[in-house]
Structure 1
Amino acid sequence: MRDLSVAVFRPDDERLADAVELIDSLGATPVPDPMLAVEPTGAAPREDADYVVLTSKTGAELVAEAAWNPGEATVCVIGPKTGDAVREAGYAVDIVPGEYTSSGLVATLESEVGGARVEVARSDHGSPVLLEGLAAAGAYVHETVLYRLVRPEGSGESAERAAAGELDAACFTSSLTVEHFLEAAAARGVCETAVAGLEDATVGVIGEPTRETATARGIDVDLVASEATFETLACETVEAAAPTYRD
């Protein structure tokens, strides 16, 4: 049996290195193809909010660089990885939802944010679910865009591999990684063949919004991770691609 090749689209920092290490530890061959690069805006969250929501490790690092002071605000995060990053940046974490998604955080907060000022600090591609859900719960919501997510130059090796029928699996971690994968494929002139090639691969996504984006763009999705973390996504995608591969 040939090596199981698995595309991963994490930003080109320790997250990509960790992803490569994880895929390798599962006995598969990682195909690292960064689809996200960070462009900071220089903005900082408001300091007069009752609740502040941080949604990523990058956001935690940027607010720390800006010497942001949360004051008496209740600090909320989307999931445990972001929580760890926020703590490492020197801030306390007050709320982590049981379900690591925007809708999960809304469900956790909706009974207590009526009339409260809620600051959401994140990228320019954040899901509207969070803002709309909190506003519907009666909160006064303000969003600060900390950084923009762009497609790195040179991305697209995974698209070429898919087009050639040489990719066994792919782990999409956001709707934007789907969009950027298709942009990279188009830039290399292999968009249609890459999408066709993914039909023969196992495609895993990190959550329902990512599944919806992929499906709308013609990509067949085989699984949605049971927990919205890269570790779970990678493990379940490798297992689905070759159930006995690690035996």
Structure 2
Amino acid sequence: MSQQVRAAVFRPDDDRIDAAVELLESLGATPVADPMLAVEPTDATPEPAEYVVLTSKTGVELLAEAGWEPGDAVLCCIGPATAATAREAGWTVDRVPDEYTSAGLVEHLAPEVSGTTVEVARSDHGSQVLLDGLRDAGADVHETVLYRLVRPEGAGKSAVMAADGDLEAALFTSSLTVEHFLDAADERGIREDAIAGLNAAIVGAIGAPTRETAESLGIDVDVVPSEATFEALACDVVETAAPTYHE
């Protein structure tokens, strides 16, 4: 890489932020780890249903720790990371959509869920698109909140760096990471400067919903990967920020 790329990453403060830092370093970037999400479990478990939908690795891990089992339910996971964690727990994963989004999951399940019961188990910030889409497809849908997502105390060093013009890239992996970043900037009285700093950098959003949230709040999004995974996001953002990094 011929230029420095300080890249802010906002994944939860667990193995995901560690993996994100390692990946960015392997791409030649300088990671700025600033977790914007912390998990508060509710200790709830899914209600019995013919289909069970899980939308995150975190949800799978909490259910596995609680000893929950899918039983005879058709187990649906929103993407490969969630599915891999479910398989590691010893569960059979029956459905994974081609598009790793709520809309993609609805499209995948819509032809078969009419007249069935569907349990959606996820965080308190899940997209309404999933519930509405499955109901429109004729399913009887119930939602269980497995955990709440909150902003960690002290988060926001990346907002300060953005406001000071010290970031070349930022990688947003959910609408909530965008909102928490701006909340942290607000607390410091630097919201407009932080947005200006992001708009002078390369901003990546993992998918269309995250992009729409960022743009609605005044943040210009430069990169949305074709595959909604962190690896694809990181590769595309770093390549856009420093096109010579492959050389």
Quote the residue 1:6 is aligned against: 7
The answer to whether 1:36 aligns with 2:37 is yes
Deviation at 1:2, TM superposition (A): 4.4
Structure 1 window deviating more from structure 2 (181-190 vs 137-146): it is 181-190
Is this contact kept in 1: 2:205–2:223, CA < 8 A? Answer: yes
The aligned amino acid for 1:128 is Q
Please give the alpha-carbon distance, in whole angstroms, between the structure 1 residues aligned to 2:185 and 2:116. Answer: 44
* Partner AA of 1:97 in structure 2: P
Matches within 5 A, 1:1-150: 2-46=3-47, 48-150=48-150
- Paired-residue identity, %: 68
Q: Tell me which residue corresponds to 1:206.
A: 206
Which deviates more from structure 2 when the two are superposed, residues 57-66 or residues 6-15? 57-66
The Cα shift of 1:246 comes to 3.3
Aligned positions, number: 246
What TM-score do the two structures reach when normalised by structure 1? 0.98
List alignment gaps of at least 5 residues for structure 1.
none
Amino acid at match of 1:61: E
Query: d(CA) in 1 for partners of 2:142 and 2:228?
Result: 25
Q: Where do 4+ consecutive residues of structure 1 move more than 3 Å?
A: none
2:159 is aligned to 159
Hey, what's the Cα distance between the residues in 2 that align with 1:106 and 1:155? 34
Q: Per-residue displacement from partner, 1:166-209 (whole Å, max 9, x unpaired)? A: 10000000000000000011112211100011111000001111
CA contact under 8 A between 2:3 and 2:242: conserved in structure 1?
no
Structure 2 unaligned runs (5+)? none
Deviating more after overlay: 133-142 vs 87-96: 87-96
How far has the Cα of 1:227 moved from its partner? Answer: 0.6
Query: Could you tell me how far 1:88 is from its partner in structure 2?
Result: 1.3
Q: Determine helix, strand or coil for the equivalent of 1:94.
A: coil
Q: Is the 8 A contact 1:27 1:246 kept in 2?
A: no
| 1:181 corresponds to 2:181 | yes
Structure 1 SS opposite 2:107: helix
Q: CA RMSD in A?
A: 0.9
- Letter of the 1:226 counterpart: S
Paired residue type of 1:33: D
Structure 2 counterpart SS, 1:204: strand
